[in-house]
A and B are shown apart, each in its own frame.
Chain A
């Protein structure tokens, strides 16, 4: 018996499946199972069908060893099943090649699970990257839209408003017809509403970019609120609403004057606009733990229960306010954005037909970071958790509803 056949017999005892395949016809010369001997390779190893030329090249030593781990096939030679590792190499002593097949299902299952996790993670990463790209595109689109509003809508609206105001003045002198005047007034109101909406959208954009600016100055909230009230004196007179400011000594806070002024102006405007004739607006400023709390309380129409959960959503307007008062539905959304970016908190209590109270807490000094979350001494600190008063009263609605 040739030496290589003897070698194969020794291997057969050690390994599960060994074949020596020789000659041009690819017949099995030696094998673990004696019945396989003398049969063509495609019968005993049918998964190798279709690659006979390659097997001949292997038999002649034209290609080196082939290792195929984690191979599974429906027609593995019995008793093999599941996953196998296949090694094929030219026979060193004769024309032919040796095939060694070892079952390796247990290890393959572990590899499969790891591969599954790796691929799922990679898919998630791809999805995140795609979503991130889409967000960037949307941000660019939004910036474009805002720029367009600023340049191409506000300017013509200003022209329209001025023109209509002039026509109304002329109409007062010439007094053509009531219908003519009514149409002019309606048009002017519509133009003013559109201008107001455009301004609000710009406010939203500014509030989004506040964090990027990093501009924080020491701010006297009492002075800021006085300036807001001065701005709204005329409106309050027009609506027959009285404004009151109650203050104590409060420390300066670090913030952005312009945006905080916008935030409180929105609240005061709401408190006047949604008040009743002869109503009142009380603004109180008082120091609280590590910050200042500003309370804006009105005696107005209040917020219906079904509207309370949505009051901070952009463009949301309550059922009554929608029909009775002009507005954009962006004021509270903008205010919330500005408060959030100062790492403060906002809460609203309201009772229908009795009034609404808005509480805003602002920290003395926002954490020195461009996000709401700050890392300090190895721990994560979320500044929203620093609540100086109980924000979870049953009627109270925080920014999260």
Chain B
């Protein structure tokens, strides 16, 4: 039997949350920017084999970006087992806002696990990606960081599966 985990995609507008979800769910990419309102909910069953084979379903709540923290946003966060905080690596302000989103999310779901995705790495040169020092941000946010590209698919599945493994591990430990 598959276990269900609600995970939220959170971050500023136009950082690529919906594109990341679509890449993970359907392995497809749409270049046009289409604003998300409210929340889009999708599911994906995944099979993990290490250490033992297990099926789990991620219920992905793709939230509208850049909304103020209201009771409505709070309602969207409720019951989340995990979160993927997304920023656009080419827009420094979206990275700066991450700590704010993490703090708000923790108020509603303090026990949830999370990872950070710095998306759109395809827009910066390869040498800049290689030279990017994640450590200061990792220390500041206290979360694993993934450089991703929804356009190319780079590291997207890895980021989602890492969160899934962490959620499973946490549940098993509990």
Contact = CB atoms under 8 A, between A and B. Distances in A.
B interface bracket (residues with beta carbon within 8 Å of A): 20 to 34
Interface string B57-75: 1010000111000011001
B43 interface: yes
Interface stretch (B30-38, B116-124, B131-139, B153-161): B30-38
B29 interface: no
B71 A119 contact: no
Contacts of B59: 47, 49-51
Interface string B34-47: 11011111110000
A108 B40 CA distance: 12
Nearest to B39: A71
Given A74-B42, A108-B38, A111-B37, A68 B79 contact: no
Nearest to A51: B79
B79 A54 contact: yes
Contacts of B14: 119, 123
Contacts of A63: 78
Summarize A's interface: helix, strand, loop or mixed.
helix
A318 interface: no
B35 A108 contact: no
Contact of B39 (A70, A120, A126): A70
Interface in A112-151: 112, 115-116, 118-120, 122-123, 126
Interface centre among A53, A69, A72 (most CB of B within 10 A): A72
A73 B43 CA distance: 9
B138 to A, nearest CB: 25
Interface in A70-92: 70-75, 83
Contacts of B80: 51
Given A49-B57, A71-B41, A66 B75 contact: yes
Given A54-B79, A120-B33, A122-B13, A69 B41 contact: no
Nearest to A72: B40
Given A66-B75, A69-B72, A112 B37 contact: yes
A63 B33 CA distance: 36
26 contacts: A49-B6, A50-B5, A50-B79, A51-B6, A51-B59, A51-B80, A52-B79, A53-B79, A55-B79, A67-B72, A68-B75, A68-B76, A70-B37, A70-B64, A71-B38, A72-B39, A72-B40, A73-B41, A73-B42, A74-B43, A75-B43, A108-B37, A115-B64, A116-B33, A120-B33, A126-B91
Interface of B: 4-6, 13-14, 33-35, 37-43, 57, 59, 64-66, 71-72, 75-76, 78-81, 91, 93
